[in-house]
Structure 1
Amino acid sequence: MSPRATLDPVTAGGATVQLAVAADAAAQARLRAERRRALRKTVLRSLGNAGITIIVLLLLWQAVVSLTGISPYIAKGPLDVWEFLFTSPNAEANRAQLFPLVGQTLVDSSLGFVVGMIVAIVLAVAFSLSKAVEAGVMPLVLLLRTIPLVSIAPVIILMTGRGTTASVAVIGTIVVLFPALANVLFGLSRASRQSLDVVHVFGGGRLTALRKVNLPGALPSIFAAARVSVPGAVTGALLAEWLSTGAGIGGSILKFNAQAQFAQLWSSIALITLITLLLYNLVQIVENIVLTRMGMSR
Structure 2
Amino acid sequence: MAISKRKKFLVKHASWLLMIVLLVFWEFICRALQVPQFLFPAPTAVLEAGIARWEIISMHALQTLYTTLVGFAIAVAFGLLVGMAVGSSPLVYRALYPMMVGFNSIPKVAFVPVLVVWFGIGTVPAILTAFLISFFPVLVNVATGLSTLEPELEDVLRSMGASKLDILRKVGLPRTMPYFFASLKVAITLAFVGSVISETVASNLGIGYLMMAASSSMDMALVFAGLIVIGAMGVGMYELFALTEKRFTGWANRGSGGVA
Which residue of structure 1 aligns with residue 210 of structure 2? 252
Structure 1: distance between partners of 2:193 and 2:147: 29
- After TM superposition, the structure 1 = structure 2 runs for residues 76-225 of structure 1, keeping only pairs within 5 Å, are 76-86=41-51, 91=52, 94-165=53-124, 167-225=125-183
Structure 1 segments unaligned to the other structure (5+ residues): 1-44
Deviation, structure 1 residue 64: 4.6
Structure 1: distance between partners of 2:90 and 2:19: 44
**Judging changes above 3 Å, is the alpha-carbon distance between structure 1 residues 121 and 196 closer, same or farther for their aligned structure 2 residues?**
same
3-state SS, counterpart of residue 252 of structure 2: coil
3-state SS, counterpart of residue 84 of structure 2: helix
Paired residues, number: 242
Match of 1:296 among 246, 252, 257: 252
| Runs of 4+ more than 6 Å apart | none
Deviation, structure 1 residue 198: 3.5
Which has the higher mean CA deviation after the structures are superposed, 227-236 or 171-180?
171-180
Residues 169-200 of structure 1, C-alpha deviation per residue, up to 9 Å, x if partnerless? 32111111222222222222222445433321
Structure 2: distance between partners of 1:62 and 1:145: 39
Structure 2: distance between partners of 1:58 and 1:159: 45
Q: Provide the aligned C-alpha RMSD in A.
A: 2.4
- The TM-score with structure 1 as length reference comes to 0.73
Which residue of structure 2 aligns with residue 27 of structure 1? none
Equivalent residues of 1:129, 1:206 under 8 A apart: no
Residues 158-177 of structure 1, C-alpha deviation per residue, up to 9 Å, x if partnerless? 23333242x22321111112
- The TM-score with structure 2 as length reference comes to 0.83
Structure 1: distance between partners of 2:82 and 2:58: 36
Which residue of structure 2 aligns with residue 267 of structure 1? 225
Equivalent residues of 1:105, 1:248 under 8 A apart: yes
Equivalent residues of 1:102, 1:249 under 8 A apart: yes
3-state SS, counterpart of residue 218 of structure 1: helix
Deviation, structure 1 residue 244: 2.2
**Judging changes above 3 Å, is the alpha-carbon distance between structure 1 residues 135 and 203 closer, same or farther for their aligned structure 2 residues?**
same
**Percent identity over paired residues:** 24
Structure 1: distance between partners of 2:163 and 2:34: 64
Structure 1: distance between partners of 2:102 and 2:121: 23
- After TM superposition, the structure 1 = structure 2 runs for residues 4-15 of structure 1, keeping only pairs within 5 Å, are none
Which residue of structure 2 aligns with residue 243 of structure 1? 201
Which has the higher mean CA deviation after the structures are superposed, 121-130 or 195-204?
195-204
Q: Is 1:63 matched with 2:25?
A: yes
Please say which structure displays the higher CA radius of gyration.
Answer: 1
